[in-house]
Structures are given as structure tokens and as C-alpha cells.
Amino acid sequence: MPCVRIRDRDGDFLSFDLRDVLKNLESVGAAFQWYILNLEGQSFGNSGLSIKALEREISKSRNGTLVTWPQLTELASKLSQTSDCVIVGIAVGTEPPSLPIEEQYRGDKVIIAAFDSSYWTVCVPRPEIARHLQSAFRDTEIVERIDVA
């Protein structure tokens, strides 16, 4: 399972967010059910999204919050900045993920993780998706594993 670390920056800040990562996963996004296991960020002021309420909802379940691909992309469109997140896309009927993400969750799934507004790591099921991610962003590297608490 290839993992791509992304560090694209404009000055001191990352130059992309969840919506940009998801845009580059459209070819596989609808094939998975998505679990938001952790999310810390800020929404656009006029989005109508309460980040605090969403964070509370996510933390209530050991498996986070289950969303569809359209719900995930809509959520991403309302976020101005994601500080930290762990989002996992898995096949329907697969055992739901939980933190910490262990090796058994590698394979035919997608793991998206943002770390302290420093970088993102995206693990994908196929090398061609990793190559696509690398071509879509400027500062990337293939890493052996994802750093998820």
C-alpha cells in the first residue's frame, strides 16, 4: 500500500487542504465507505458548519463518524483549514476502523491523515493512484508507513 507524504507550502502554511486531496481521489472515492476518526480544523465563516459539534460527534464513537463520499466532499468544501485528521475509506462490509490505525488496516483502502498543519500522508490501494497524487502536488515523497496515533 503506497503512502504519499505531501508538504506543499505557500510560505509558512500548507497550500492545500482536504478538498484538494479528495479531488485527486475521485477515481476511487465512491467505491468506499468513509470513517472520520479524527478531525480538527476551521470552517469557512459562512459555511454553516460547527466544527466543535462535528468534533464531539466524531469522538463519541470508537469508529468515528461514517459518511458517504458525497458527504465527505461536501464537508471538505466547508473547511478552510484542517489541522489534524484521520479519515479511512474501506470497502462496504469491512470491519470499521478505529484508532490507532494498525497494520491490519493496510491493503485495499484509503487512509488520509493530516498532522499538526505540517504535512499530510495519504495511503492508497494502488501505485497508479500514488503516482497521480505525486503529480498533483509539488512537494511529495513516498513513505513506508503512515504516522497515525
Secondary structure of residue 140 in the 3-state scheme: strand
Q: How far apart are CA 147 and CA 111, in angstroms?
A: 11
Is residue 144 very low, low, confident or very high in pLDDT (cuts 50, 70, 90)?
confident
Q: Give the residue-averaged pLDDT of 106-131.
A: 90
Secondary structure of residue 37 in the 3-state scheme: strand
97: in domain: yes
Place of cell 482536504: 18
Residue 2 φ then ψ, to 5°: -70, 140
Q: Which pLDDT value is given to residue 103?
A: 57
Q: Judge contact between 41 and 140, C-beta under 8 A.
A: no
Q: What is the pLDDT of residues 43-77, one digit of tens each?
A: 998 899 999 999 999 999 999 999 999 999 999 99
Place of cell 466544527: 51
Q: Return mean pLDDT, the chain.
A: 91
Q: How far apart are CA 106 and CA 109, in angstroms?
A: 7
122: in domain: yes
Residue range(s) defining the domain that contains residue 123 = 3-143
148: in domain: no
88: in domain: yes
- For residue 39, pLDDT over 70 is answered with yes
* 117: Cβ contacts below 8 Å, ≥ 6 apart: 13, 14, 81, 82, 83, 84
Is residue 104 very low, low, confident or very high in pLDDT (cuts 50, 70, 90)?
low
Output 104 or 12, whichever has higher pLDDT: 12
- The domain total for the chain is 1
149: in domain: no
- pTM for this prediction: 0.93
Q: How far apart are CA 126 and CA 110, in angstroms?
A: 10
Q: Measuring CA to CA, which residue among 139, 146, 143 is closest to residue 8?
A: 139
57: in domain: yes
- For residue 101, pLDDT over 90 is answered with no
72: in domain: yes
